[in-house]
Structure 1
């Protein structure tokens, strides 16, 4: 898998994922467990949706 999540996108995914999971753990709605998805994609640096829509937030690497 080629990395397609970078920089600010990665940070926002991790923060949003942690916030949603914390909300679920403290009595929030069951759907808050969806925070696992942005947390995982932020930590992995790869989002399965991005290739389908032709998007990448990683900076271009020059050889």
Structure 2
């Protein structure tokens, strides 16, 4: 797996993932669909791995290229 998630993209994924998880864990109990917040695990995992399978499918790469 070649890294395809860049620095700013990683930070954004972590922030969004944590916000979704916070909603799932601490959101109002009256909302019956707060389980959707657990989708926040995916952006956190892709940020930590530095690789996004969806980016691979569509050919996107936000990781800066390294010059040799």
TM-score when normalising by structure 1: 0.92
Which ranges in structure 2 are unaligned for 5 or more consecutive residues?
29-33
The residue that corresponds to 1:3 in the other structure is: 3
Which ranges in structure 1 are unaligned for 5 or more consecutive residues?
none
Deviations 1:9-58 (A, max 9, x none): 00000111011111101135111110001011011111001111111000
Are 2:24 and 1:39 aligned?
A: no
| Structure with the greater alpha carbon radius of gyration | 2
Cα distance in 2 for residues equivalent to 1:61 and 1:52: 22
**1:62 CA drift (Å):** 1.1
TM-score when normalising by structure 2: 0.86
RMSD: 1.1
What is the aligned length? 63
Runs of 4+ in structure 1 off by over 3 angstroms are: none
